[in-house]
Each structure stands twice: as structure tokens, then as C-alpha cells.
């Protein structure tokens, strides 16, 4: 190996990389806001007793879970403007595509923890005279959210990583900035390594937190 490293070419250009990180974080936070709320609604609809309600939701969830995120993002960017005649900013489009993807995965996480709520809790809610909306708000929602926190966090961080895909449709996120910096400076090794480290520095603490929560849950359960 006779490559001479020059990390200064990156450190001189940290500005664009951090601008990119800001866009990446914006995408992640907004997609999580959609994923956490829409995901819960989808989970409730998934368990609806009416087939007519259940079927389209199942289709939505399975479609997002069973196709590559890249296909979804490209589909979104090309087809939504053509099909529905709406023209949104590229960051908004990215947020929607990532948000729907996350909502599908979170819906499954919520569903698993809702189904794990013991029947007696709901019976107790009925016995206390709570109406269905109150039962969802005060019994199902808090229990389900607490039980699914580790999975929701994991999904949230996966979306942080998947958000790099929007670089392919020219949203100027961290990945995009890294790619153009690597091309401009002819320093792909240094640039991509630094960009990878930035991604890692954000996701690693979250995965450690998830591991800690899992361990604590197991300790409490055992």
C-alpha cells in the first residue's frame, strides 16, 4: 500500500459536510415524527375487525416492508408528481418517502406490543366504564409505546441510515455532500471515511441505548 493520506482536504471542507448532516438530521426527525404517529394509527387499523379497513392497510404495510427503500424513494420522486400532479420540494418528498417507509415498520412494532397487552387490562377498562377512545388513549397507547420503545428506536436509527439514499435523487444530505466532495478533491478515501464516521457517531449511541434498554427489560422480566 503506497497511498499517502491527506485528511486536510476533508477538514478544510467540513462546512458542507455539516450542512449535509443538518439535512440528514432534518429528514430523520421529520420521518420519525410521521413514522411514530402514522405507524400507531396503521397498527390500530391493522387490527380492525372489518376486512375492508384491514386489507388496504395490510397492503400498504407489506408493500413498504417488501420492496427496497431505494425503489420506494425513486418511485416517489418520479411518479408522485406525474400521478397526482403535486410538486413538492425535494426535502419534503424525501421526508414523505422515508416517513411512510418508517410508518410501515413501526406499525408492525406497535401491533406486536399491542397484541401483547393482556386481555384483562382491556376488560378492566370496560369495567371502569371507559369508552373505546379512552381505552386506546389511556391503556393501549401508553403500554404499547413503552413496550415498543427499543424497536421504535432501532427503526428510527435505520431510517437515519436509509436517509442516505435520497442522495441518489440529489437531495443535498450528508451522503450527497460527501460524494461531491470526494469528486472535487479526488480524495474519496478520506472523505467517505469521515462521512462514515459522522454517521457512526450519531447511530452508535442510539444502538447502545437500545442494548441497555433491552438488558434492563430482560433483567426486570427475569
Partner 1 sequence: MDSLDFTAVLRFRDALLQGLLTTLELTLICIVLGCAIGFAVGLARTSTNLPLRNLSSVYVEFFRGTPVLIQLFWIFFCLPLLLGIELSNFASGVIALTLYMGAITSETFRASLKSIGREQFDACVALGLPRWAQITSVVLPQALLRAIPTLLSNCVSLFKESALVSAVGMADLMFIGSNISNNTARPVEVLTVVALIYFVIAFPLTRAVTVIERRILQKLAV
Stretch that binds partner 1, among 27-35, 123-131, 138-146, 195-203 (CB under 8 A): 195-203
Nearer to partner 1, 18 or 78 (CB): 78
* CA 36 – CA 28 distance, rounded (Å): 12
Per CB under 8 A, does 13 bind partner 1? no
Is residue 38 within 8 Å of 158, Cβ to Cβ? Answer: no
Joined grid coordinates for residue 118: 393482556
Which one of 10, 44, 103, 165 is in contact with partner 1 (CB under 8 A)? 165
Joined grid coordinates for residue 72: 420506494
Nearer to partner 1, 40 or 64 (CB): 64
What backbone phi and psi angles, to 5 degrees, belong to 68?
Answer: -60, 140
Stretch that binds partner 1, among 27-35, 120-128, 132-140, 185-193 (CB under 8 A): 185-193
Q: How many residues does the chain have?
A: 222
Per CB under 8 A, does 204 bind partner 1? yes
Nearer to partner 1, 138 or 200 (CB): 200
> By rule CB under 8 A, what count of residues binds partner 1?
42
Nearest C-alpha neighbor of 29 from the set 154, 165, 157: 157
Which one of 17, 42, 97, 182 is in contact with partner 1 (CB under 8 A)? 182
For the CB of residue 176, give the shortest distance to partner 1 in the complex, in Å: 11
Nearer to partner 1, 147 or 175 (CB): 175
* CA 159 – CA 91 distance, rounded (Å): 15
Per CB under 8 A, does 164 bind partner 1? yes
Nearer to partner 1, 44 or 198 (CB): 198
Longest dimension (CA), the chain: 76
Per CB under 8 A, does 106 bind partner 1? no
Per CB under 8 A, does 22 bind partner 1? no
Three-state DSSP state, 129:
coil
Is residue 206 within 8 Å of 157, Cβ to Cβ? Answer: yes
Which residues, other chains included, contact 44 with Cβ-Cβ below 8 Å and sequence gap of 6+?
Answer: 114, 136
Residues 30 to 89 in contact with partner 1, rule: CB under 8 A: 62-63, 65-72, 74-75, 78-79, 82-83, 85
* CA 143 – CA 45 distance, rounded (Å): 18
Nearer to partner 1, 19 or 214 (CB): 214
Amino acid at each position: 500500500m503506497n497511498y499517502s493520506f491527506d485528511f486536510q482536504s476533508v477538514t478544510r471542507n467540513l462546512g458542507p459536510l455539516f450542512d449535509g448532516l443538518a439535512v440528514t438530521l432534518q429528514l430523520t426527525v421529520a420521518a420519525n415524527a410521521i413514522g411514530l404517529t402514522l405507524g400507531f394509527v396503521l397498527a390500530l387499523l391493522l387490527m380492525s375487525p372489518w376486512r375492508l379497513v384491514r386489507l388496504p392497510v395490510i397492503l400498504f404495510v407489506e408493500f413498504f416492508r417488501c420492496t427496497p427503500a431505494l425503489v420506494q424513494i425513486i418511485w416517489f420522486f418520479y411518479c408522485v408528481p406525474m400521478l397526482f400532479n403535486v410538486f413538492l420540494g425535494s426535502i419534503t418528498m424525501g421526508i414523505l418517502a422515508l416517513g411512510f417507509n418508517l410508518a410501515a415498520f413501526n406499525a408492525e412494532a406497535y401491533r406486536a406490543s399491542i397484541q401483547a397487552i393482556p386481555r384483562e387490562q382491556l376488560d378492566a377498562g370496560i369495567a371502569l366504564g371507559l369508552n373505546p377512545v379512552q381505552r386506546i388513549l389511556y391503556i393501549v397507547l401508553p403500554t404499547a409505546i413503552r413496550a415498543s420503545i427499543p424497536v421504535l428506536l432501532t427503526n428510527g436509527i435505520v431510517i437515519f441510515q436509509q436517509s442516505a439514499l435520497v442522495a441518489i435523487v440529489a437531495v443535498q444530505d450528508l451522503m450527497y455532500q460527501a460524494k461531491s466532495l470526494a469528486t472535487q478533491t479526488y480524495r474519496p478515501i478520506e472523505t467517505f471515511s469521515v462521512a462514515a464516521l459522522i454517521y457512526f457517531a450519531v447511530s452508535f449511541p442510539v444502538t447502545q441505548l437500545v442494548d441497555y434498554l433491552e438488558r434492563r427489560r430482560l433483567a426486570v422480566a427475569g
